[in-house]
Amino acid sequence: MKRKKKMIIWTIGLLGSIGLIFGLNYLYRTYRYKQIVADIVIEPVDLARISDGVYSGEFDALLVGSKTKVTVKDNQIAAVDLIEHKTELGEKAEKIVDDVVKQQSLEVDVVSGATNSSKVILKSIENALNSAVGK
């Protein structure tokens, strides 16, 4: 009986420790994610400096990430393809790519209720366009 009781206590302790490790890891990743998103600054890109072509960009903020392909033709953004959007609740931010093409600018309003995803997608587009500068 003593042995069985000890085994139960050890099992509960082990499971509790594993739960604590996962919980602390989640809290740390959430904290870092919030820091990364808060530090995102979307800079304007001079389309006149970008040659025609298709450029890839990405940005990862731990819990939210984005990969995009931007097509530039005649110094204009012809298309933005959202290749990957890692998110939990920010799917509605995906329409922001249409706003970028329509306004020919990264200076568009973020999608209400999906601000973080919007910022991550915009940064991915900015990174794609910046990869083209100087080519």
Q: Give 109-120 pLDDT, tens digit per residue.
A: 999 889 999 999
DSSP state of 133: T
CA–CA dist 111, 109 (Å, integer): 6
Beta bridge partners of 80: 70
- Mean residue pLDDT of the chain comes to 92
Predicted structure pTM score: 0.85
Over the stretch 98-108, which tens digit does the pLDDT of each residue have?
999 999 999 99
**Greatest C-alpha distance within the chain:** 81
* % of the chain with per-residue pLDDT over 90: 83
Q: Which of 77, 72, 76 is nearest to 98 (CA)?
A: 77
